[in-house]
Amino acid sequence: MIAGVLVENGRVLRATAGLVAVLTAGTAGLARYFLRGILRVTRSKDYDIAVLGVGDDLTSGKHTTSDIRTVQLVATENSLLPGTYGLSWLDGSANPTGQAIVGPILSVDGDFGGRVKGGRSGRAAAGPVVTRTLVDVRAGELRVGLRTAWEQYAYLGDPSAARGLDFLDLDLHGDLGAYPTWLLPGDGGSRWVIAVHGRGATRSETMRILPTLAALGLPTLIPSYRNDVGAPATVDNRYHLGDTEWQEIDAAMAYAIEHGATEFVLYGWSMGAAIVLQATVRSSRADSIIAMILDSPVIDWRDTLRANARVNRLPRPAAELGLWMVQRQLGIHLDDFDWVARADELTRPMLIFHGPEDAFVPWERALALAKARPDLVSMVTYQGAGHTKSWNVDPAGYEREVRDFLLGLG
């Protein structure tokens, strides 16, 4: 009898051990998937928003002589966002050819089918349809049937094509090679801005604020950094969360100093803010930095990575294992990227934009930093602003805040 019980218990133990092994392997697999998603350099664009109507005033249900130009789009998570954004589309040969700027939502209608007759419509659509103001068609023809990509940066191309700004194309030289960089010469003064885009983004992320900086006469450098298109790639083809990328900002400051700069305002979006913060404590030129502007900043990578795990519905054990893997793979300690814990080390005035709807870089840590250093940090929040979308929600207000902050530096 005892032997039978032992045999049965042994089976249970083996089954339990097998289940644990399967679960452990599954957790490790999810953690590795998470690690690749965070660190791997990927670039893609989804042309998933169909154009259903283009006209003068589609909100009234008929063609009118209204001055409002409108566009009707399939309702998606992006096309329902409040604010000002861009659309882009491809030609028949799959080449990028078209750009448009769309403004506020005018209506959301779940019963589009044939309702609009005055605009260039003529097709029905299943599901909700959003009608937005059509601000401008900048290139190509916006027509019914196009499948468009949502452009958070709104303006595409270089500073001249996108915003009508004079600029120079140059290469900055760093430890991995040459980094393509834009320079807005400004008035040639000694206070320069260095604008740093976020993870997986491009220099176009800065385009929304460049006219404001140019109007103030501030020379502005917009550098690329390692693993950007046209920039040197790392051996591992991975982002390093600011731990190495800050060196390109250091190279930008070196170039600017050679050309007359004595003071810097560093401006960073998302991971670009994490890069900027690293530069303020690791660059030999950090004494020349007088202020920072941070948009949806990564203040604490642990908080940010956990948030991304939640967005991707990753189980907590896999997420925590993924955090450990990030540190091991990159040879870093995430404690070094927690600026709430390091708040006492900050010495420069800082303007932070961060919206409560940011699911990828939660605003709570920026809010905690603002509370920890009210002597240095001014925080601006726009309701409805998702990740790096504060400008999109209120362009005029955003630009005014930036202008006032910069003028207030004296």
On the question of pLDDT at 5 being above 80, the answer is no
**Interval 32-47 mean pLDDT:** 82
pLDDT of residue 26: 66
DSSP-derived secondary structure for 240-291? -TTTTTHHHHHHHHHHHHHTT--EEEEEEETHHHHHHHHHHHH-TTGGGEEE
pLDDT of residue 32: 83
Residues contacting 331, CB < 8 A, separation 6+: none
* pLDDT tens-digit readout, 340-349: 999 999 999 9
**Which amino acid, 30?**
L
* pLDDT tens-digit readout, 170-185: 999 999 999 999 999 9
pLDDT of residue 65: 42
- For the chain, domains (ranges, CATH) are 49-151 (no CATH), 159-408 (3.40.50.1820)
* Of 182, 236, 224, the residue nearest 200 (C-alpha): 224
Rounded CA-CA distance 44/232 in Å is 19
pLDDT of residue 59: 44
**Which amino acid, 328?**
R
CB count within 10 Å of CB 382 equals: 21
Residues contacting 248, CB < 8 A, separation 6+: 172, 174, 179, 223, 224, 225, 226, 275
On the question of pLDDT at 402 being above 60, the answer is yes
**Which amino acid, 281?**
V
pLDDT of residue 211: 98
Torsion of CA 211, 214, 220, 222, to 10 degrees: 20
* Of 188, 243, 247, 238, the residue nearest 217 (C-alpha): 188
Q: How far apart are the first and last CA of the chain?
A: 89
Arithmetic mean of pLDDT over the chain: 88
Residue 55: which pLDDT band, with cuts at 50, 70 and 90?
Answer: confident
Residues contacting 294, CB < 8 A, separation 6+: 267, 268, 269, 273, 276, 277, 350, 351, 352, 353, 366
Query: How far does Cα 56 stand from its chain's mean position?
Result: 32
On the question of pLDDT at 328 being above 60, the answer is yes
Report whether 191 contacts 199 (CB < 8 A).
no
* Of 125, 127, 95, the residue nearest 110 (C-alpha): 127
Rounded CA-CA distance 322/316 in Å is 10
